[in-house]
Amino acid sequence: MRKNRFKIILILAAIALSLYYLYPTYQSSEYQKKLAQLSGQAKFDSYLKTHPIPPLTDSARAFYIDSLRQYFSADSLKYYDENANKIVDAKLKRIKLGLDLQGGMHVVLEVNVIKMLQDMAKNKDQTFNEIMQQVSAQAKATDADPLDLLQQQFEQRGIRLSRYYGDIRDDNAKVMSYLRDQTKSAVDRAMEIVRNRVDQYGVSEPSIQKQGNSRIVVELPGVSNESEVRQLLQGTALLEFKLLKPTDVVVKVFQAIDNVLAGKVDTSSATQDTTSSDTTMTAEQFARKHPFFAVVRVNPQTGDAYVAENDRDKLERMLLRPDVQRVIPSDFQFLYSAKPQIVAQGAKYYELFVVKKDPELTGSVVTNAQAQIDPTTNSPIVTMQMNSEGSREWARITGANIGKRIAIVLDNAVYSAPVVRSKITGGNSQIEGMGSVEEANLLAIVLRAGALPAPVDIVEERNVGPSLGEDSIKNGVTAGIVGLSFIVLFMFFYYRTGGAAADFAVLLNILFILGVLAGFHATLTLPGIAGMILTVAIAVDANVLIYERIREELATGKTLRAAIDQGYSKAFTAIFDSNIISLFTGAILYQFGTGPVQGFALTLMIGILASLFSAIIITRVIFDIMIERGATEINFG
Amino acid sequence: MRFFPKTNIDFIGKRHIWYTVSITFIVIGLVTMAIRGLNYGIDFKGGTELTVKFENPVNIATVRSALDKVGFGDAEIKTFGSANRLLITVKQTSQGSTVTNEILTQLQNTFPNNPLQLLQENKIGPKIGQELRKDAVMAIFYSLIAILIYVSLRFQFIYAVGAVVALFHDVLITLGAVAVFSWLVPWLNLQINQTMVAAFLTLVGYSMNDTVVIFDRIRENLKIYKGENLIRVMNRSINDTLSRTIITSATAFVVLLALLIFGGEVTRGFAFAMLVGVVTGTYSSIYVASSLVVDYNIYIKKVDLRLPASQSPVLEVEKHYEISPKRA
């Protein structure tokens, strides 16, 4: 016992540590179970079955259902509030599941340097555009640094860079170093903005990492709304405030367009027969007579216009026609709402906004925006603050446009178009009328997001639905259990007592791997599970080597103790060498792989170290103790 | 229990037959690769890959013609796991979700009474695909170099060369097997993707285990039987470790088979490559790695390793006298 005391302490410590690190994972799953049990969804459903909803108006009905839901979820909310810290803590410390197992999005963003160079240039002219075209073509073909290409182009043509960048007196070297700084920091700026936006979006445990010089890897577990995330990440985000054109003017222009499209020459007399008298016509007749209004549906009372999702291309084409262009005033711009406003008969309708082309103000003046609940009306609102320069402008703009609507436009999509109630001085505004807290949140996000300082492209996107992840876990676990049971049974029948010791070591080995994964906050991926299964197979190899050796030694007539000593020491070099090599390949794989493959490499490396420990030290201690207790024979099959 | 009693098999003597077998397999693989090409997955090729689940099974031909109509005539369409799940791969990528949306809309219009769900979506830009492919090749290259250095430090340089050639052999044969099987058994969905590359690197590490165990025994036996004929020592060492070699490979084989059968689509390629790798890794440590060391001694160092007819090609450990009760 004495000579093994250190080893035994080591083993017990390893077990204790693994359990300590794994406890939060267990705890977290218990909390989830408890919360699911308390959430009352089942109770709520069964209540609804036995108690039909009384006949109510739509809004009252929604309120009735909401309060019922609140009543039934009160238990879980109370439980959560009481244990919030513990629940969050356990969640942070548990073994993280990779995106391939829990579903989510993996996006790689790359700063588009060429676009950025384009955006940064001033006094752009024909020559500049030609140069940029050349640079862009060359960068695509040769993979060279766009900045170098840009410099080459300028030098070839004998033009100074300062014509477009920096101060006119700067020499090329100075401008280049300025541009280089800007591109370098672009990634960092983009990353900060992306992080900020992702945080605001409220994804749990997102991961945002810089990869190389110009890439950002964003991992968003559990996110399924890709298009929203994509907008959030990528939007080269230009936020603008644009004034809506007055409804009566807009309707007149619509009618003019309709007349042009229908082939009518007269534009003034036909204004009366647009909507009301056409109700008796079939859809086809109507479309022929009023091609524009067949696509753009105008609400006669409010003047709001809507376009079906499928008709948007058609409308674009109509608006691009030169004869149509002629009747559209030059400062008109047609924009859609960011989200469909009405869904009817399976079709999504987007609101069509007609705004003044030049923005009143750009989003760079916004310093903060927040979604809140207005305490007096109990409805969601968005508050927005601007810097001093923006506040001055904002006061002038709002003062001059009371009663008009100002569209909040991000990347040419209108998120909201509130009516200006009064002149806003001091830069603090409040936007109300949102239908839900979610809507308010999104608007606040849009306002805060402002403009990305560097345009980014999505160069890689992986998206796993949650159900696929569940399947993957199930498959991985099944394969693992089948493989593990086979090995455990085989080892026991083939090596008897020795096999039982090896089995014990293998089970501890799995505990250690999971413990280390949890301890390092590493991520378990599906290939990682495969790696764990493989590790088990490799782990018993060490024991097979040792036991075969012990059998050989026993066959030459050595005593049990001598045979075990010799078996372990003679097998050691082979075990050591082969595992070191596996460790090398694991490290190389970790270096070159991405995402799930890195997960695999990590589990493999942890597994190799853990299996060396359990196969060599743990089994040895077991045999030593057995011999000390007086065993003269240990069955190695 | 004991599956393998003490054996005295002349492994090294038959090496030339096995060289032929190895070369034949490699050539078959290379020819298949040359004709059929390698089935690169989305990781390395770039493009858009969708996994779609329908409520009810659909006809692939209908899907193909439907996608052809909207300009995706070159789409690869396969079932994924079950008949109602499809894996659709197209070359195009788009910023935003246009390609995905077009495909999904077209599919939903084609099968209006069969609701569908997007399970997984991967979009890899062509530039990224190229980089990942380069990374994969570099990873395998670096690991072979690392092994060459380590093994020549621990053994002699020629052993390291033998080991690395054996690994190269394993990688080529496995690659060939992947090419042949993805051609002959398309429903296995074998694709060269990142997970498959992980399998190749793992099999490089795993196959080294066998080689190192045998080399280790050769090193030990060469010390014990100084001056013995190398072929006899090698045969002895391979026979000594044969039981371990087969048991380890067999257990790994069964575990990987479980992964292949139960592990689902994502790890199938991995399990398949590893399965092939375990078999060829075991074989190559005997017939490539060790045999090359022998041939190096014969042909380069001109050592005469010919055995007199009276001598067994396998070194026999001399037997002790035995004493037992007198038989009646």
Of B119, B154, B261, nearest to A468 by CB-CB distance is B119
Quote the CA–CA distance of A339 and A439 in Å, as a whole number: 10
pLDDT band at A273 (very low <50, low <70, confident <90, very high): very low
pLDDT above 50 for A270: no
Instruction: Write the pLDDT tens digit of every residue in B68-127.
Output: 888 888 888 888 877 888 888 888 776 656 788 888 888 888 888 888 888 888 888 877
Helix axes B268-284, B194-224, angle to 10 degrees: 20
pLDDT of the residue at B26: 95
Contact assignment for A463 to B120 by CB distance below 8 Å: yes
Instruction: Write the pLDDT tens digit of every residue in A137-150.
Output: 888 777 778 888 88
pLDDT above 70 for A236: no
| β A456-464/A104-111 pair status | antiparallel
pLDDT band at A451 (very low <50, low <70, confident <90, very high): very low
| ipTM associated with this complex | 0.86
In angstroms, the separation between the Cα of residue B266 and the nearest Cα of chain A is: 8
Which residues 128-167 of A have a C-beta within 8 angstroms of B?
A: 143
pLDDT of the residue at A62: 67
CATH class given for the domain over B12-39+129-300: mainly alpha
Mean pLDDT of A314-334: 85
Quote the CA–CA distance of B165 and B142 in Å, as a whole number: 14
Element (H, E) at A201: helix A172-201
Of A486, A544, A574, nearest to B212 by CB-CB distance is A574
pLDDT of the residue at A280: 61
Interface check for A226 against chain B (CB to CB < 8 A): the answer is yes
Q: Which of A463, A491, A506, A526 to mutate to test the interface with B (most CBs of B within 10 A)?
A: A463
Interface check for A234 against chain B (CB to CB < 8 A): the answer is yes
Quote the CA–CA distance of B227 and A379 in Å, as a whole number: 94
pLDDT of the residue at B170: 95
Of A461, A468, A588, nearest to B201 by CB-CB distance is A588
Contact assignment for B150 to A584 by CB distance below 8 Å: yes
Residue A457: helix, strand or coil by DSSP?
strand
Q: Which residues in chain B have their CB less than 8 angstroms from residue A573's CB?
A: 216
Mean pLDDT score of chain A, rounded to an integer? 81
Q: Which residues in chain B have their CB less than 8 angstroms from residue A465's CB?
A: 117-120
In angstroms, the separation between the Cα of residue B265 and the nearest Cα of chain A is: 9
pLDDT above 90 for B214: yes
pLDDT of the residue at A309: 74
A465-628 topology per CATH: Multidrug efflux transporter AcrB transmembrane fold (1.20.1640)
CATH architecture of A237-451: 2-Layer Sandwich (3.30)
What is the DSSP secondary-structure string of A534-570? HHHHHHHHHHHHHHHHHHHHHHTT--HHHHHHHHHHH
Q: Which residues in chain B have their CB less than 8 angstroms from residue A585's CB?
A: 143, 146-147, 201-202, 204-205
In angstroms, the separation between the Cα of residue A295 and the nearest Cα of chain B is: 20
pLDDT of the residue at A17: 93
Name, of A230-244, A308-322, A377-391, the range with top average pLDDT: A377-391
pLDDT of the residue at B321: 58
Contact assignment for B252 to A537 by CB distance below 8 Å: yes
pLDDT above 80 for B318: no
Contact call for residues A475 and A122 (beta carbons, < 8 A)? no
In angstroms, the separation between the Cα of residue B17 and the nearest Cα of chain A is: 28
pLDDT above 50 for A59: yes
User: Which of A97, A101, A99 lies closest to A28 in space, CA to CA?
Assistant: A97
Q: Which residues in chain B have their CB less than 8 angstroms from residue A584's CB?
A: 143, 146-147, 150, 205
Contact assignment for B263 to A476 by CB distance below 8 Å: yes
In angstroms, the separation between the Cα of residue A173 and the nearest Cα of chain B is: 30
Of B118, B205, B263, nearest to A475 by CB-CB distance is B263
Contact assignment for B209 to A593 by CB distance below 8 Å: no
In angstroms, the separation between the Cα of residue A85 and the nearest Cα of chain B is: 34
Of B119, B143, B147, nearest to A467 by CB-CB distance is B119
pLDDT above 60 for A283: yes
Question: Which residue has better confidence, A419 or A189?
Answer: A419
CATH architecture of B47-123: 2-Layer Sandwich (3.30)
Q: Which residues in chain A have their CB less than 8 angstroms from residue B271's CB?
A: 530
Q: Which two tokens stand for residue B179?
A: 């090419």
pLDDT of the residue at A279: 54
pLDDT band at A470 (very low <50, low <70, confident <90, very high): confident
Lowest mean pLDDT among A54-63, A150-159, A538-547: A54-63
pLDDT above 70 for A430: yes
Quote the CA–CA distance of A331 and B252 in Å, as a whole number: 72
Whose structure tokens read 């039934």? A72
Residue A360: helix, strand or coil by DSSP?
coil
Residue A503: helix, strand or coil by DSSP?
helix
In angstroms, the separation between the Cα of residue A448 and the nearest Cα of chain B is: 22
Instruction: Write the pLDDT tens digit of every residue in A245-255.
Output: 988 888 888 88
Quote the CA–CA distance of B171 and B199 in Å, as a whole number: 10
pLDDT of the residue at A618: 92
Instruction: Write the pLDDT tens digit of every residue in B122-172.
Output: 888 877 888 888 888 888 889 889 999 999 999 999 999 999 999 999 999
pLDDT band at B312 (very low <50, low <70, confident <90, very high): confident
In angstroms, the separation between the Cα of residue A507 and the nearest Cα of chain B is: 16
pLDDT of the residue at B112: 85
Q: Which two tokens stand for residue A19?
A: 């359990």
Own/partner pairs, A188-196, CB within 8 angstroms, 24+ separation: A189/A452, A189/A453, A189/A454, A190/A109, A190/A111, A190/A216, A190/A452, A190/A453, A190/A454, A190/A456, A191/A216, A193/A237, A193/A449, A193/A450, A193/A452, A193/A453, A194/A109, A194/A218, A194/A233, A194/A456, A196/A448, A196/A449
pLDDT above 70 for A581: yes
Cα radius of gyration rounded to whole Å, chain B: 26
pLDDT above 80 for A20: yes
Distances (CA, A) of B142 to A609, B135, B137, B149, B169: 22, 10, 9, 11, 16
pLDDT of the residue at A276: 46
Of A461, A471, A541, nearest to B123 by CB-CB distance is A461
Q: Which residues in chain A have their CB less than 8 angstroms from residue B273's CB?
A: none
SS (H, E, C) chain B: CCCCCCCCCCCHHHHHHHHHHHHHHHHHHHHHHHHHCCCECHHHHCEEEEEEEECCCCCHHHHHHHHHHCCCCCCEEEEECEEEEEEEEECCCCCCCHHHHHHHHHHHHHCCCCCEEEEEEEEECHHHHHHHHHHHHHHHHHHHHHHHHHHHHHCCHHHHHHHHHHHHHHHHHHHHHHHHHHHHCHHHCCCECHHHHHHHHHHHHHHHHHHHHHHHHHHHHHHHCCCCCHHHHHHHHHHHHHHHHHHHHHHHHHHHHHHHHHCCCCCHHHHHHHHHHHHHHHHHHHHHHHHHHHHHHHHHCCCCCCCCCCCCCCCCCCCCCCCCCCCC
Interface check for B255 against chain A (CB to CB < 8 A): the answer is yes
pLDDT of the residue at A103: 84
Q: Which residues in chain B have their CB less than 8 angstroms from residue A527's CB?
A: 195, 198, 266-267, 270
Q: Which residues in chain B have their CB less than 8 angstroms from residue A458's CB?
A: 95, 123, 125
Nearest CA in chain B to A485: B255
**Domain range list for chain B:** 12-39+129-300, 47-123
Mean pLDDT of A80-104: 78
Of B135, B136, B254, nearest to A486 by CB-CB distance is B254
Quote the CA–CA distance of A418 and A397 in Å, as a whole number: 14
Q: Which of A101, A225, A458, A541 to mutate to test the interface with B (most CBs of B within 10 A)?
A: A541
Which residues 124-183 of B have a C-beta within 8 angstroms of A?
A: 124-125, 127-128, 132, 135-136, 138-139, 142-143, 146-147, 150-151, 154
Contact assignment for A472 to B264 by CB distance below 8 Å: yes
pLDDT of the residue at B213: 92
In angstroms, the separation between the Cα of residue B91 and the nearest Cα of chain A is: 14
Neighbour tally for A157: CB within 10 Å = 11
pLDDT of the residue at A268: 45
pLDDT of the residue at A568: 93
User: Which of A384, A435, A446 lies closest to A413 in space, CA to CA?
Assistant: A446
Contact call for residues A414 and A396 (beta carbons, < 8 A)? no
In angstroms, the separation between the Cα of residue A593 and the nearest Cα of chain B is: 7
**Domain range list for chain A:** 2-94, 106-236, 237-451, 465-628
pLDDT of the residue at A342: 72
Of A459, A493, A601, nearest to B128 by CB-CB distance is A459
Contact assignment for B262 to A464 by CB distance below 8 Å: no
Which residues 262-281 of A have a C-beta within 8 angstroms of B?
A: none
pLDDT of the residue at A211: 82
Q: Which residues in chain A have their CB less than 8 angstroms from residue B95's CB?
A: 234, 457-458
Interface check for B252 against chain A (CB to CB < 8 A): the answer is yes
In angstroms, the separation between the Cα of residue B173 and the nearest Cα of chain A is: 19
pLDDT of the residue at B264: 83
Contact call for residues A28 and A94 (beta carbons, < 8 A)? yes
